Amino acid sequence: MNVLKHDPLISNIGVLAYGTVIAKVVLLAFYPVITRIYSPEEFGIYSIFFSSILILYPIVTLYYQLTIPLPKKEIESRNIFSLVVLISLTGTIILALIFLLFSESIFSLLNISELGDLWWFLLVGLFFLGVYETISNMATREKKFVAVSISKIFQSVIFILTAAACWFLSYRGNGLVIAVTLQLTLSAIFMSISFRKEIHAALKNVEMMLIWSLLKKYRDYPVYRMPSEFMVKLLTYLPIFYYSYVFGSAQTGQIGLSLVIVAAPVSLLGQTIGKAYYAEISEIERHSSDSLKKVTERVFRILLFIGLAIGAALALFGPTAFKVIFGEEWTTAGDYARVLSLFLIANLCTTPIFSIFNVTNKQRLYFMLHLFSLLSAFVALGFSYISGCSPLNTLIIYVFIYTIVKAFSLIFVYKQL
């Protein structure tokens, strides 16, 4: 017991997990209410909106924020922070101009015209997500996880209150869109206040020559890591856009809810363990002779055990549980969740482990693995489209290919350690 208490990895996981667990439990406890006051069509619009933010987010920051914990010198880390803020602001402005000029054509081409009047909400959420994640990486470097943990709870509370208020005010159509936009905005403001001293120190010590040097030093991140993360998000949420394009917003809402529930353990435990794992292996690379392989094996065993337990429960009881918890209208989402149990295990076991690429700086390898994954996903959905598969059979084909590719990638990564 004393060993666990003084293990930095376990301690950091515990701090992050505490807030993340509370936040997710509170939010998930409210979902049975959401599914009864918002229709599958309205949930479908929300799913497309939030998926768009998550997919575009890597483009806005170029993923330089992941380098904040890496430098040995504090002055370098602070200048990377200032760099990321500037990149995020510039990226958001560029996207704003693109949407201002071409939003109607873009959304019509993708058959997601529901977002036509919401593009500025999307940009606000996108920018503040970038701010939040940038400050979170500052917290990771300092191993100050308490504020991050509290911010997770704050996010859930804001989403719940806003969604309920929109329903009460009879503004259901875009109520969930407004809720998630406000959630991202206020959580970024909360983190900015919590780390105001560190932010002030970073912004007042800007050295342009050093920033230029750091841009070149970590150039693999925008060249390889950013496209890789874009592909990761696209790979995860591709079913949302496919279902919207082929099957309509009601089916999109069904697959959207199932993905939210299935993604909860990945967000709850995978990202929490991943942040602590990242902090630990960054420290190993900088100061310690401990083996990266040893820590990675330990984390993988934890993730696999959790994934198998949750995946088995979802496969056995998913359809019945969704019908009882979320209502008769969401039975289809339960069928989708059963299929997605493999998707859950694959993501839970790989998402944290793949952060090792940030330390080993093998961004090109990371890029190639995810390019292969994305091409495989397009082949799976392309086959489903040509064959005229039903929504359920489409998901079965997609998840089967996705799981095989993830397993191959994990084995390949392990052999590179």
pLDDT tens for each residue of 301-332: 888 888 889 889 988 888 899 999 999 899 99
Q: What is the pLDDT of residue 4?
A: 44
pLDDT at 246 over 50: yes
Look at residues 373, 335, 114 and name the one whose alpha carbon lies nearest to residue 232. 373
Give residue 361's pLDDT band: very low, low, confident or very high (50, 70, 90): low
Could you tell me the two tokens for 148?
Answer: 């991050």
Instruction: Give tens-digit pLDDT for 122-166.
Output: 999 999 999 999 998 888 887 777 888 888 899 999 999 999 999
Cα end-to-end span (Å), the chain: 30
What is the DSSP-derived secondary structure letter of residue 390?
A: -
What is the DSSP-derived secondary structure letter of residue 172?
A: -
Instruction: Report which of residues 10 and 266 the model is more confident about.
Output: 266
Could you tell me the two tokens for 411?
Answer: 């084995």
Give residue 12's pLDDT band: very low, low, confident or very high (50, 70, 90): low
| Amino acid (1-letter code) at residue 100 | L
pLDDT at 167 over 80: yes
Q: What is the pLDDT of residue 1?
A: 43
Q: What is the pLDDT of residue 364?
A: 78
Instruction: Give tens-digit pLDDT for 272-296.
Output: 677 677 767 766 655 454 567 777 8
Instruction: Give tens-digit pLDDT for 90-122.
Output: 989 999 998 888 877 877 777 777 777 788 899
Mean pLDDT along residues 374-395:
94
Mean pLDDT along residues 3-27:
68
Instruction: Give tens-digit pLDDT for 218-243.
Output: 888 888 878 878 888 888 889 999 99
Q: Using the structure block, give the residue that is written with the tokens 């959420």.
A: 125
CA torsion 382→385→388→393, rounded to 10°? Answer: 70
Q: What is the pLDDT of residue 406?
A: 87
Q: What is the pLDDT of residue 379?
A: 93
Q: What is the pLDDT of residue 412?
A: 80
Of these ranges, 21-25, 63-67, 168-172, 237-241, the one predicted with the greatest mean pLDDT is: 237-241
Of these ranges, 62-71, 216-225, 373-382, 402-411, the one predicted with the greatest mean pLDDT is: 373-382
Tell me how long the chain is.
Answer: 417
Q: Which of 7-16, 50-59, 205-214 has the lowest mean pLDDT?
A: 7-16
Q: What is the mean pLDDT of the chain?
A: 85
Are the CB atoms for 199 and 135 separated by under 8 Å? yes
Instruction: Give tens-digit pLDDT for 329-347.
Output: 999 999 999 999 998 888 8
Q: Using the structure block, give the residue that is written with the tokens 């969704």.
A: 322
Give residue 14's pLDDT band: very low, low, confident or very high (50, 70, 90): low
- 101 exposed, middle or buried (CB, 10 Å; 0-12, 13-18, 19+)? exposed
Q: Which of 19-23, 39-43, 391-395 has the lowest mean pLDDT?
A: 19-23
Q: What is the pLDDT of residue 255?
A: 95
Could you tell me the two tokens for 302?
Answer: 């934890």
Look at residues 152, 137, 113, 130 and name the one whose alpha carbon lies nearest to residue 56. 130
User: What is the rounded CA–CA span in Å between residue 359 and residue 288?
Assistant: 13
Are the CB atoms for 184 and 132 separated by under 8 Å? yes
- 4 exposed, middle or buried (CB, 10 Å; 0-12, 13-18, 19+)? exposed
Instruction: Report which of residues 182 and 5 the model is more confident about.
Output: 182
Q: What is the pLDDT of residue 377?
A: 92
